[in-house]
Amino acid sequence: MNSFKNITKIGLLLLVMLSFLSCSKSFLEIEPRGKLISRSFKDYDLLFNNLNVLNTDVNTNVPMGDEVIMLEPYAASADIRTQRLFRWEDVIYEPNENSRELAVLMLQLYTYNKIANEVLDVQDGTKADREALQAEARANRVWSNFMLVNYYSKPYLAATAGQDLGFPIVTTSDVTTSSFTRPSVQENYDFMLKELQESIPLIPKNPVVRARLSRAAAKGLLGKLYVFMGKYDLAITAFNDALSDLPTNFATELIDYNITTAPGGGWISNPNTIISGMPAGWINTENLLVKQFSNGFTGSFNYLLVGPRTFSLYNSDDRRLFFFSSFANGGTALLPGIKRRNGPSQGQFGLILPDIYLLRAEAKARTNDIAGAIQDLETLRKKRMPANSATVSITQKDELIRFIIDERIREFAVLGYRWLDMRRLSTDPLFQNITYKHQLYDASGEVKSEYTLRPERMVLRFPDRVMLENPSMPNNP
């Protein structure tokens, strides 16, 4: 697929031009074949500090989640890509455009593949250090693969995963490669599981900095894969291992909103801008795997909002403080029941503690550990609201599972998590009868248009530019 190759070449130039925070490009050059050259263990180690592998710059998930609405006249000011994603259209990109998802994530894969394939051959560094760096790269590329599979392949369903088309498994760091095929979704997940299972024993418990992947992060990512496969017993074991093996050289803990959002707590709320004081990804104590994107939908943009249905999920909850009744940069009042999320400006989308606790709670509920599920729920909720509001008294299994999914909306609204949940829940009998819709409201507060998510658009289509250069590769319907 030449388009994949072209995307990587573009990213490679950015990699060289933007380079690293703490090193010059003097140790990098371009070979005639187009390969990026690293000469020492330190060179490979520093590749992980490149902002291109920390910042995803992919906000695709946010407008596709059904927790958001659009409101005129601001909806028309959204870029055409966002409007098409919101309407769940077949075609998102113009014929001459590369997709943002491919451009960013393929560059990440190039970087991780380079480290994984070459670091064992350098002459300096101990054997253990080289193996740890390779393992870190392999575990990181699982996250990139996980995102690509969840953009371009059907949700995992054991009965059909062996036939459903997956995403090409790219393990080379040679940008001249032009032959790719689509494996099955099952092969994608088997590859990711193998990568993590073989890498986890070699990854250090304590990375040098929070932005680097820890052993606990890899274990947590393994648990997330199992949840998406419906293997809840295995997911619980992986999450237990992750939470019992957290790094000890820096704080890793839930942030207590009861403190940070209180007067003098450090987070300052301004309805015309965003909530300030929230920590960046590399100093956020909730972060295990730093992958972030600039989320204008929770800051300066006015065209993705939450409606009455979503906001009604919040009661005595400090997370309500993220939602405002006025537009950004103007203070004009929104219509009743419609709110604008007002932060954080950077979406944390790698692996964070709230996600682990809620996924483990769901897995426990699905395996009939009701008390354990409630304990995980309350662990998070006590950090998000007063203790007397955090109690969960639901004891019926299916009702508790639904409550946990609603809790995920409360925790992650307008942050991009909902789209992935919608995909995986679409294969779940408990949620299969849900019809996902988006509403466009007019200026008077009436629903002007409604868009229904069709099963085909649970996956993105490859853009025309990719298909024109790869006519033998099957596209999604």
Q: What mean pLDDT do residues 275-293 have? A: 90
- What single DSSP character describes residue 385? S
| Residues above pLDDT 70, as percent of the chain | 90
What are the tens digits of pLDDT across the range 287-312?
Answer: 999 999 989 899 888 889 999 999 99
Distance of CA 461 to the CA centre of its chain: 19
DSSP string, 215-260: HHHHHHHHHHHHHHHT-HHHHHHHHHHHHTS--SSS------HHHH
The 10s digit of each residue's pLDDT in 198-241 is 999 999 999 999 999 999 999 999 999 999 999 999 999 999 99
Flag whether pLDDT at 182 surpasses 90. Answer: yes
Which residue type, as a one-letter code, is found at position 259? I
Given this model, what pLDDT does residue 176 score?
A: 59
Q: Are 192 and 183 in contact (CB under 8 A)?
A: no
Residue 20 pLDDT: 32
Asked if residue 173 lies in contact with residue 149, where contact means CB atoms within 8 angstroms, the answer is no
pLDDT at position 273: 64
Domains defined along the chain, listed by start: 2-255+349-469 (1.25.40.390)
Q: Say if residues 218 and 199 touch (Cβ distance below 8 Å).
A: yes
pLDDT of residue 37: 59
Q: What is the pLDDT of residues 24-51, one digit of tens each?
A: 332 222 233 445 556 899 999 999 988 7
**Alpha-carbon span 180 to 170, nearest angstrom:** 8
**Segment 389-406, tens digit of pLDDT:** 999 999 999 999 999 999
**Any alpha helices (H) in 87-214, and if so which ranges?**
100-118, 127-152, 185-199
Are 62 and 348 contacting, i.e. CB atoms less than 8 angstroms apart? Answer: no
Structure tokens belonging to residue 260: 């940070």
The pLDDT of residue 10 is above 60: no
User: Cα–Cα distance between 310 and 409 in angstroms, integer?
Assistant: 8
- Tell which wins on pLDDT, 118 or 13: 118
List the one residue out of 79, 86, 83, 23 whose CA is nearest residue 49: 23
Averaged pLDDT, 310-323: 92
**Edge-to-edge, what's the strand order for the sheet holding 305-306?**
305-306, 68-71, 437-441, 447-452
Cα separation, 264 vs 136, in Å, equals 39
Instruction: Name the pTM for this structure.
Output: 0.92
pLDDT number for residue 4: 56
Residue 116 has pLDDT above 90, yes or no: yes
What does each C-alpha distance from 243 to 149, 220, 366, 394, 419 come to in angstroms?
Answer: 26, 8, 20, 25, 25
Assess whether pLDDT exceeds 50 at residue 185. yes
| pLDDT reported for residue 258 | 95
pLDDT tens digits along 54-111: 888 899 999 999 999 999 999 999 999 999 999 999 999 999 998 999 999 999 999 9
